[in-house]
Amino acid sequence: MTTVNPDGGIGESVSRNEDRRVLTGNSTGTDDFAVPNALHVQFLRSEKAHARFSIDASAARARSDVVAVYTAADIEASETPTPEPFSLYAAPMKGVPYPDDAYLQRSIATDRARYHGEIIGVVVGTDQRAARDALDDIDVTYDTLEPVMTAEAALADDAPVLHDDVADNIVFEGASGDEAQTQANFETAAYTAELEKEPQRVSPCPLEPRAAVAVHDPSMDTLEFVATTQIPHGYRRLLSQMLHHPEHKVDVTVPDMGGGFGARQHPYPADVLVGWCALDLSEPVRWRASRTENQLVENDGRGYEGTWEIALGEAGDILALRADIRYDLGAWVARGACGLAQSGNSVLPGQYDVPAVYSHVTGVVTNKARVDAYRGVTGTEMIMMLERLVTRVAKQAGLDPAEVRRRNFVDPDQFPYENATGAVYDSGDYARNFEMGLEAVDYEAVQARKEALRDENRYLGVGLCSYIEGAALGPCGELDVPTWGYGRVQVHPGGEVTVYSGGANHGQGHETSLAQIATTEFGVPFDDVSVVENSTKEVSDGVGTFASRTAALCGSAITESCRKIIEKGRQIAADEWDVPVDTVAFDDGAFHGASEQSLSFQEIAAQAHMGAAVPDELEPGLEEQTYFDPETRTWSFGTHVAVVELDPDTGAIEFHDYVATEDCGVQLNPDIVEGQVVGGIAQGIGQTLYEDVEYDSDGTLLSDALRDETLGSSGGYTLPKAEHIPEITVESTETPSPHTPHGAKGMGESGAIAAPGAIMNAIADALEPFDTEPMTPPVTPEMVWRAMAEGGSE
């Protein structure tokens, strides 16, 4: 199939359509969504991490500006069906069984709160102030219980058990890989290295706090949501199930949203309760979280502890990897949490051809807010630990960490490559991409400079991190998740095109990149294509956006739909010219016959909508849909090189250089790819140097507000600012995926996946002259200063 590449087509860095409205202040967020006469919800949230409680809401109920107050008992007593516990429409995953139902999150606590911020009551007021004030009129009596604040504490023999009907705090336990072979390879290893603990719990922090609007129309019994979610269609399905309201009567619209980062995949108790209140009261209901409320309850990411080990042979070949990981999931789980462990397992060997891999995972509940996906999901943690281990073991062996990577990369002729955990990589050329990164940073020169500067008491460090990013999760491969890419394409009589995507845009640039696909396929002007997403009303099917799926899954579905339309166009042209269909070609935005006949795409579009011009055996119109499922997931890859200098006087960590290479197959829009990489690196820098969700020993969340890093790391949550992000060079190779029509792969998480490993390795490299223990992020200037001053760390 030949495609043209007119202005605005695939591969061009078209400016993003959506930026016009976002950058000029014309975007509409969930809370901007105007609904006349909406009531306002505020949630009564537990002030204790673990306590039995009782509520006296009589004073609040008596207020004239309060419409309703609900406790769990009130909800149970209502005729409106009680919400079901949380679930997820995914099948169990390999090696990680489903949790007992007792662990599945409930929307409201009955008489025992299990984390600071858990909803224990609901107030509906005539306006937001009324609802907020009424919260102060509610008397809550707490009988505190001992909180369980770490995975280790949850697994202790005498640990308090968090959930009734289950004997321990274990949500899942599983193992994958060949334990005996891994052990055997460790026994024959020339060198081994090990890292413990890691990585800390972080908060994804989309730009605006969570919000939801629910409108129930009693005449039609429809329930319409406007919500901060990455998955409008998934959210509709889950809320329909939890609220016992049929799916065809539920709709979800997602206005502009400043990122989701994984935290906005699954619905939250607040969303369910906003919908429940709308049903119970048959009035429009709205809610918006404060920043503190958002920090209390929005899913965190990471937060695991464990042991990671690597075994290296005499010749520098990686013989085995082993991990024993404890996932601290918080007090309740949405079933997605099990996918964290599963997807973590699958990327353990990264870019390397490792013969034996074994991992043991345990998921436990603690008295904290929920942990779920965060950009890169568990790939970030596994790649960071892998790449730190590769670097450490290389140095033990007296080898350059770059050299050990070269010796172990999966070779281009090994694809499709099944790694030792059973994940199948679609395509790759790791070494070529790696050398591009090393050249861009001038690796040999920077090593020489590092050596030279040490004589001046200056400490430069160079860190490498080679990553893979498994994207495009569909029903294929190891996961049986009904998450096809959905794409429908409609051609209007004037030849303009509307593309309907089953993804969701919250900053990724889909309105632009998906339009580029139709521009290329049809050879129409870019401005003639518009993209519709983020709405179950306007897009009949789909899921949403997560796991870097849109380009590879929805983009491919859109491509296939365009090609079905071109096929139909050929039939219409063949009928018009009275020639066989196979003599009609489509090229350069026009249909061509063998005898120089020609009809433009726009002329065929017009004819397709005219009764007389459409052959009898065809339906009128030009509109097609596709459900796309690639043969395997797509696997992007690359290498980050961080160059930092550590100041022995202040412990300051300064970036000298940062190079990121990316190979996500064929790029739809290189500027968007670069933007995603840079944004991900910013989050990776945050995770490595600044961010830490902190709880007091009694379970109170300390990092409940955003805080300037100059005020120190405790008592607030520190996000990096623009001034903390270095100039970043992004370079690319393009190794097409064989499983998508344009060869595109999923990308969008690589920056966050690779940056922590590169930066941790750079810091460790700079500290090499000092006798230090491995550090645990976030690495602060104080930790660096102590390490350099005392020759030990922390």
**Sites of contact with ligand SMO (CB under 6 A):** 230, 260, 262, 265, 373-375, 377, 546-547
- Residue nearer to ligand SMO on the CB measure, 147 or 301: 301
Shortest Å distance, C-beta 711 to ligand SMO:
29
Q: What is the dihedral of CA 657, 658, 661, 662, to 10 degrees?
A: -160
- Residue nearer to ligand SMO on the CB measure, 148 or 297: 297
The answer to whether 584 and 568 are in contact (CB under 8 A) is no
The answer to whether 434 and 405 are in contact (CB under 8 A) is yes
The answer to whether 327 and 98 are in contact (CB under 8 A) is no
**C-alpha distances out from residue 130 to 31, 135, 318, Å:** 18, 9, 63
Q: Is the dihedral of CA 27, 30, 34, 40 positive or negative?
A: negative
Determine how β-strand 51-56 pairs with β-strand 112-113: antiparallel
Round to whole Å and give the CA distance between 684 and 18: 25
- Residue nearer to ligand SMO on the CB measure, 212 or 373: 373
- Residue nearer to ligand SMO on the CB measure, 208 or 224: 208
Round to whole Å and give the CA distance between 202 and 684: 11
Shortest Å distance, C-beta 751 to ligand SMO:
13
Shortest Å distance, C-beta 369 to ligand SMO:
16
- Residue nearer to ligand SMO on the CB measure, 49 or 543: 543
Q: Is the dihedral of CA 384, 387, 393, 398 positive or negative?
A: negative
- Residue nearer to ligand SMO on the CB measure, 381 or 623: 381
Shortest Å distance, C-beta 752 to ligand SMO:
9
- Residue nearer to ligand SMO on the CB measure, 260 or 684: 260
Residue 18: which H helix or E strand, with range?
helix 17-23
Distance spanning both ends of the chain, measured CA to CA: 60
The answer to whether 735 and 427 are in contact (CB under 8 A) is yes
Round to whole Å and give the CA distance between 25 and 709: 28
- Residue nearer to ligand SMO on the CB measure, 379 or 428: 379
Shortest Å distance, C-beta 261 to ligand SMO:
6
Phi (first) and psi of residue 143, to 5 degrees:
-115, 100
Shortest Å distance, C-beta 546 to ligand SMO:
4
- Residue nearer to ligand SMO on the CB measure, 185 or 378: 378
Residue nearest to ligand SMO (CB): 262
Q: Which among 760, 752, 198 is positioned nearest to 471, based on CA atoms?
A: 752
9: helix, coil or strand?
coil
- Residue nearer to ligand SMO on the CB measure, 262 or 330: 262
Shortest Å distance, C-beta 257 to ligand SMO:
12
- Residue nearer to ligand SMO on the CB measure, 375 or 488: 375
CA angle, corner 444, sides to 442 and 447, nearest 5?
A: 105
Q: E strands of 221-300, at which residues?
A: 222-227, 250-253, 285-288
Shortest Å distance, C-beta 761 to ligand SMO:
23
Shortest Å distance, C-beta 749 to ligand SMO:
7
Shortest Å distance, C-beta 343 to ligand SMO:
9
Round to whole Å and give the CA distance between 723 and 727: 10
**C-alpha distances out from residue 183 to 188, 580, 715, Å:** 9, 65, 43
Shortest Å distance, C-beta 756 to ligand SMO:
15
